[in-house]
Chains A and B, each alone.
Chain A
Amino acid sequence: MEAAAMNWTVAVPEIALALCAMAILIFGVLRRQDATFLCTMLSLGALLLTGVLVIGGQTGAGFGGQFTADAFSAFVKLLILSGSAFALLLSLDYNEREGLARFEYPVLVLLATTGMMVMASATNLMTLYLGLELQSLALYVLAAFARDTLRSSEAGLKYFVLGALASGLLLYGISLAYGFSGTMDFAQIARILASPAHASAGLVVGLVFILAGLAFKVSAVPFHMWTPDVYEGAPTPVTALFGTAPKVAAMALILRVMIGPFGHLLPHWQLLIVLVSIASMLLGSLAAIGQNNIKRLMAYSSIGHMGYALIGLAAGTHAGVRGVLVYLVVYVFMNLGTFACIIAMRRQGRQVENISDLAGLARTDPGLALAMAAFMFSMAGIPPLSGFFGKLYVFLAAVQAGLWTLAVIGVLTSVVGAYYYLRVVKIMYFDEAQPAFDKRGASLSFVAASTGLFTLLFFIFPAPFVGAAEAAARVLFG
């Protein structure tokens, strides 16, 4: 990584996406009226284009080693792009009906996505921070996008304040790491830490702060406090976005940082990840039991899911990283599908969010109920749905790495989790029917159906995903 070469072509997808975002912004501003639909479509096109560029893109290090495109980043980026694209699709119908149809929305999503992609490619603490902030700033605005509703602005403000705090922690950690190692480059740090003598207290303290900053983004316990409030308050498509693409980006970043520069400290940080993972699984499964609001339920659910994903990291092995990546794929699609169903919960022009509103859905809308049931079963980890395989790979890695406690707790909390997932199914299928929901937009049906099929049929074709995750994981272990 000594090469000081610019080699900017490795960043072509990000550059293209950023340019598209700006172009669409200009287009929207000039067009003034009725620009939203068009901008959204253009944005989807931009995401698609970026995806193509990622697939066909160059690999290698650029910008003097600050930015790297490799199999790992490509895998993560494609997942981020699909997450963003589906989340954007979900917003179409919702924003229209809620009076939020403004062209800035897709632009912000594109900018956030650009930030996430930079995160996925970051091989320098500075790049890491850059991508993270670009993503975060756009997301803060998105959280408060329904600026006229109290809950949304509150959510945006909370997210911003706490996010700023997390950024501060992260920056402090970065500065400690730089101060005690003299470099921000991942590879250099790794080289320094290869000899245990260099693992100074300052450096490891810096590591904890960096970890805290990143853990905030994946809403791992104890940095999860913002999640339920923001999930509930933010407009639902934004929540859907929060639950998917940024989580992927942040988790990828954690993987790269912990395995890459700080990989040699595995015996030291393993306990931290184990504790954070256990705490997340426990809180995610326990706190969700008492929830009535389905968005809050999903917030706790995502906390729990991040706990499961962290199991793979805790294993610290190639199989563990592969497990995390597979878990993320599975998680993104079933989460998007669930939010498609939640956005479809609209009665007499108003969004309803209580779990009890789903009562008797099986009779009023069997298709939607079936999709929702599939997602719930999958989240509970019931075979042969995709959620089962996600858990299978991380538990497998944990067992192989000898982390029996973690695997056992994971299984036990899955049992608790199954309760509230299955409760949703029970309410839909066995409770007294409520009035039917409003007719939903085609985009929702599309998202629910496609992600539902993915969830249902994953067990038939897991090989390409597992194979790609395998290849991506191999990159981190050089």
Chain B
Amino acid sequence: MIYAIAVFAPLFGSLIAGLLGPFIGDRAAQAAAIIGMVIAAICGPLALFMLVAFDTAPSGVVSLGTWIDVGRFHVDWALRYDALSATMVGMVSFVAMLIHVYSVGYMGHEHRPKYRFFAYLSLFTFSMLMLVTADNLLQLFFGWEGVGLCSYLLIGYWYDRPSACAAAIKAMIVNRIGDLAFAVGIALVFFKFNSIEFPSIFASIGLHQADTYDLFGTSFPAFEVIGFLLFIGAMGKSAQIGLHVWLPDAMEGPTPVSALIHAATMVTAGVFLMARMSPLMEFAPTALAFVTIIGGTTALFAATIGCTQTDIKRVIAYSTCSQLGYMFVAAGVGAYQVSIFHLITHAFFKALLFLSAGSVIHAMSDEQDMRRMGGIWRKIPITYTVMWAGSLALAGIFPFAGYYSKDAILEAAYAAGGVGYYGWICGVLAAFLTAFYSWRLLIMTFHGAPRADKHVMAHVHESPLVMTGPLMVLAVGALVAGFLLKPDFIGEYWPEYWGLSIFNGPDNHVLHAMEELPGWVGLLPLLVGLAGIAMAYWWYMFQPGIPAAMAARFPAVYRFLLNKWYFDELYNWLFVQPAIKLARGLWQVGDAGIIDGMPNGVASLAADGSRQAVKLQTGSLALYAFVMLIGVVALLTIFLMFG
């Protein structure tokens, strides 16, 4: 019951804010949305607590009724109540509540009606909760598409900015590619299992292990195909390399949106999906190896780009991309618990970083370019402090949250061996770069000589309590989440904590193997992190000439990174331009030529016919009589031949 309230309270908040917003005014709409979120943020963690602390609340399913019942295809509306879902509900509702509160302050200067913003935000939260509590793939897909829709609406929230509209459309389209694979994967699950309900899928995994799927005359193991398809869906939502291009552009939305959707919750849906489908993924080793490779590559690739970007939000966006790569590395080596652990800690410190960035942007009169910041750390001390906390967590410095979770991922990757080594190498390199760009960001933003103009500098001010409050709460989370959660999530109690919600195959001992690694493996990430920090200080604080010199020395590398590995240009050339050409062709040939052409042709045919039809009408009496006689003869002939 509490669980259901946690899921549906945001929906009611959203409906009230969205539908009644124009009538009850902005303040009431905000209040409704926030009340809904507060209720959810109380009930969500409470439900989790009841599940793990007492055995009184049995894990199971909260059934809400039948959705679709056609032939063998049966889908219920139901909330799955197990450790994995409850953990996600607790995190999502809590973080979303903080971000709602923060938004009140951040959107304070917005001159347009704000109820729309809060309605979308709450609707997003509801969709996300539906996603994580789904008891079948279709409901999961419902939430999946719901968060995608809200993401689109919120990225394009400032709909009068062409760049925001373009970014919103880009997010929608890129996600469609992943979603298509996901939908096909769901269909294939139904095809093989005759059901898309998790309990019946997981119960009959053993029966279908030898199943194959025939495509183009080749047989593939069915689980591998499903695993690949689901992961491609996850790649779209979680912005993995190849389908990552929408995430940096999504920063066009208001900053709380970036924090909630594009850092803390929605983009982690792919990671959640891997954990949720772990009973199936465990039997798709090739797909899992692919997950590891993509994850490792993304972690490193996004980190390299993060080092050259100058937009404060884009830097954090690429870091999100990179951290999601870490999570997939963990999922790929079978350490789903570790990936969820990092997902949770990341939610805290990444939301914190984004919201702090928002606070900076707020202070700097909507300036987002770090090259026009600097020298403001004394003026906004709270923001500065919490940003440090977030950065320490991100860089994985003891005892912040990231230290525990990132460390665990790298250990798991190393312990898994094989393709895990690739993930481990990428991860370690990325850890160095992460620390480097985090401090690059800190130093460029807060230190050095002020580079903004005087008006802006004069207005720099600390954000109100409604914004700094959530920041401080999140900062505490970024500090303590790691060592508080570790014992339960991946430490000694993990089998009891996760129960049956996450499945590890009989040969999967990665979580045990992690414990028996040589000491340097655990220490290395911390060391490279510190090295990264040191290098950032050296390059940006003590010898500020170096970055420019390096850029001049290696222009090709610099441009390659600055232009984000030319992914956008490649896609533009490979897909967008051909699509535009195709569309233009369909328009000019198909629409204007054929679809318009046919009626036009018929019309001119009619006009021609008209000219022909009146040709006989010469006024000649003899001709008229002749036509009549011919007519009689023709009719007679027809009558006698066919009649």
Contact = CB atoms under 8 A, between A and B. Distances in A.
Contacts of A158: 621, 624
B613 A222 contact: no
Interface in B588-643: 603, 606-607, 609-614, 616-617, 619, 621, 623-625, 627-632, 634-636, 638-640, 642-643
B611 A169 contact: no
Contact of B628 (A212, A228, A271): A212
B617 A225 contact: yes
Nearest to A205: B636
B640 A201 contact: yes
Contacts of B616: 225
Contact of A162 (B606, B611, B628, B642): B628
A340 B39 CA distance: 77
A287 interface: yes
B630 to A, nearest CB: 7
Interface in A167-216: 169, 201, 204-205, 207-209, 211-212, 216
Dominant SS at the B interface? helix
B606 A286 contact: yes
B631 A223 contact: yes
Contacts of A272: 635, 638-639, 643
Contacts of A419: 603, 606
B639 A225 contact: no
Interface of B: 603, 606-607, 609-614, 616-617, 619, 621, 623-625, 627-632, 634-636, 638-640, 642-643
B610 A269 contact: no
Contacts of B621: 157-158, 161-162
B69 to A, nearest CB: 38
Interface of A: 157-158, 161-162, 165-166, 169, 201, 204-205, 207-209, 211-212, 216, 221-223, 225-226, 228-229, 267-269, 271-272, 275-276, 282-283, 285-291, 416, 419
B643 A268 contact: yes
B9 to A, nearest CB: 51
Contacts of B607: 289-290
A162 B613 contact: no
Nearest to B622: A161
Given A212-B632, A226-B624, A286 B643 contact: no
Contacts of B623: 225
B635 A162 contact: no
A162 B625 contact: yes
A290 B610 contact: yes
Going nearest first, the 8 A-B pairs with the smallest beta carbon separation are A222-B631, A225-B624, A289-B610, A287-B613, A268-B643, A286-B609, A290-B610, A212-B632
Given A205-B639, A290-B611, 9 more contacts: A165-B628, A208-B632, A267-B643, A269-B643, A287-B613, A288-B610, A290-B614, A291-B614, A419-B603
B608 to A, nearest CB: 9
B636 A162 contact: no
Nearest to A229: B619
B624 A222 contact: no
Contacts of A212: 628, 631-632, 635
A310 to B, nearest CB: 13
A285 B609 CA distance: 10
A319 B154 CA distance: 61
A287 B617 contact: yes
A339 B598 CA distance: 36
A417 B16 CA distance: 54
13 contacts: A169-B632, A204-B639, A222-B634, A225-B623, A225-B624, A269-B639, A271-B638, A271-B642, A272-B643, A287-B613, A289-B610, A291-B614, A416-B606
Contacts of B632: 169, 208-209, 212
A212 B635 CA distance: 9
A216 B625 contact: no
